[in-house]
Amino acid sequence: MTGKRISREKETIAKMIALYAKQCPEASQEAGHYQVLNAYADKRLDKCVFGEEKPACKQCPVHCYQPARREEMKQIMRWAGPRMLWRHPILTVRHLMDDRRPVPELPEKYRPKK
């Protein structure tokens, strides 16, 4: 079961991907591409090492996305982020507030061995 923070992150990412896929001229026309990307993002959020204390992905010391998908998500967020304010203002403001949260310490089992 996911908590409120992770559920909100999933909703925000889903809305960003949907907005990008529907309105961005550079969006992929491949059928199902963005559904697969959204499912991947949900899976990565479910497995986040920080859980409900997760920082914004751009602040995170652990990059859990594959490099190609990470670049694609960055592109989507860059394009959809400013447009989200008009379409989903509450989600956008909450996301911006989460972006300001301090990065928690890495859980013990994920710290590098000395």
d(CA 14, CA 38) in angstroms, rounded, equals: 6
For the chain (length 114 residues), average pLDDT per consecutive 10? 84 95 90 94 91 83 88 93 92 88 79 72
Position 114 scores a pLDDT of: 67
Full DSSP string of the chain = ---HHHHHHHHHHHHHHHHHHHH-TTS--STTHHHHHHHHHHHHHHT-TTGGGPPPGGG-SS--S-HHHHHHHHHHHHHHHHHHHHH-HHHHHHHHHHHTSPPPPPPGGGSPP-
pTM: 0.87
The pLDDT assigned to 61 comes to 81
